[in-house]
Amino acid sequence: MEFFIDTANLDQIKEMQELGIIDGVTTNPTLLAKEGAEPNEQLKKICEIVKGPVSAEVIGLTTEVMVKEARELSKIASNIVVKIPMTKDGIKAVKILDKEGIKTNVTLVFSQNQVLIAAKAGATYISPFIGRLMDNSQNEIDTLWEMMEIINAYDFKSKLLVASIRNARHVVEAAKMGAHVATIPFAVLEKMFKHPNTDKGLEAFLKDWEKLQNQLKNK
Ligand code: E4P
């Protein structure tokens, strides 16, 4: 399973990149707005840190504008993947961009039928927003299983990129079903490292080691 980090913050990206655990980055207009920098400059900096896929989203709503924006975004760096919203115009744009060899990430996906349509259009990645499904009292895990079944049933080339992850359990569930990618917020990545027994165990080992050293000194 590939791990992407779901942020546009350079410090967070650098920290996880240095740990060697991330394969790519996803951004969206909200995440870029949080950083307050010129978006294309920020994306360029992100692409310099991470060599894997970096998702950047179009703002336009018509196929024509989306395709134009996608061509511009893909000039920022060779690892840019263009995020396209799951609309009729978006799907038309995905087909055009696929033919041009521009990688796409169909975003704001909430249903199994949307996955099927995006896969048929030739999306490189498809991003179901599981946290927002959960917020809407829908069973996000069952929905995700069915999405994965659909991708596997027809051997589509699209990769399921699990997005809107809210907790470490979401990552486990995505991994259990063999989802290709999980895009994970920094805070959740941090939690995935930790278990209270790891800290307690380490403390006890070090204490016992020190005890032994003192015993040996006093022999
Ligand atoms: C990533 O591709 C998505 O834009 C992001 O995961 C959405 O997460 P949110 O629902 O927490 O805003």
Q: What percent of the chain stands above pLDDT 90?
A: 99
Label residue 43 exposed, middle or buried (CB < 10 Å: 0-12, 13-18, 19+): buried
Pull the structure tokens for residue 168: 């470490």
Nearest alpha-carbon partner for 97 in 44, 43, 42, 60: 60
The range of the structural domain enclosing residue 109 comes to 2-194
Q: Is pLDDT above 90 for 73?
A: yes
Q: Are 183 and 26 in contact (CB under 8 A)?
A: yes
What's the mean per-residue pLDDT of the chain?
A: 97
Does residue 199 belong to any structural domain of this protein?
Answer: no
Q: What is the DSSP string of 98-109?
A: HHTT--EEEEEE
Does residue 217 belong to any structural domain of this protein?
Answer: no
167 lines ligand 1 (CB under 6 A): no
- The model's confidence at residue 26, banded by pLDDT at 50, 70 and 90, is very high
CA dihedral (36, 73, 55, 48) in degrees, to 10, reads: -70
**CATH number of the CATH domain containing 190:** 3.20.20.70
Average pLDDT over residues 126-140: 98
Biggest distance spanned by C-alpha atoms of the chain: 82
Nearest alpha-carbon partner for 129 in 151, 105, 153, 150: 105
- The model's confidence at residue 54, banded by pLDDT at 50, 70 and 90, is very high
**Cα(40) to centroid(ligand 1), Å:** 19
Does residue 201 belong to any structural domain of this protein?
Answer: no
User: Catalytic residue positions?
Assistant: 83
CA gap 199, 25 in Å, rounded = 29
From atom 5 of ligand 1, which residue's Cα is the shortest distance away?
A: 164
**Cα(129) to centroid(ligand 1), Å:** 6
From atom 11 of ligand 1, which residue's Cα is the shortest distance away?
A: 164
Average pLDDT over residues 176-180: 97
Predicted TM-score (pTM) of the model is 0.95
What is the atom index within ligand 1 of the atom nearest the CA of 31? 4
Does residue 127 belong to any structural domain of this protein?
Answer: yes
Average pLDDT over residues 65-92: 98
Does residue 210 belong to any structural domain of this protein?
Answer: no
Report the pLDDT value the prediction gives residue 219, as an integer from 0 to 100: 86
Average pLDDT over residues 74-88: 98
Average pLDDT over residues 38-61: 98
CA gap 14, 147 in Å, rounded = 32
Report the pLDDT value the prediction gives residue 151, as an integer from 0 to 100: 96
Average pLDDT over residues 94-113: 98
- The model's confidence at residue 80, banded by pLDDT at 50, 70 and 90, is very high
Does residue 200 belong to any structural domain of this protein?
Answer: no
* Exposure on the CB side of residue 47, measured as CA atoms within 13 A: 19
- The model's confidence at residue 155, banded by pLDDT at 50, 70 and 90, is confident
Pull the structure tokens for residue 17: 């990149």
Average pLDDT over residues 55-83: 98
Average pLDDT over residues 9-18: 98
CA gap 119, 21 in Å, rounded = 27
Report the pLDDT value the prediction gives residue 170, as an integer from 0 to 100: 98
**Cα(62) to centroid(ligand 1), Å:** 22
Does residue 207 belong to any structural domain of this protein?
Answer: no
Strand 54-57 to 24-26 pairing: parallel
Counted domains in the chain: 1
Average pLDDT over residues 127-149: 98
Label residue 86 exposed, middle or buried (CB < 10 Å: 0-12, 13-18, 19+): buried
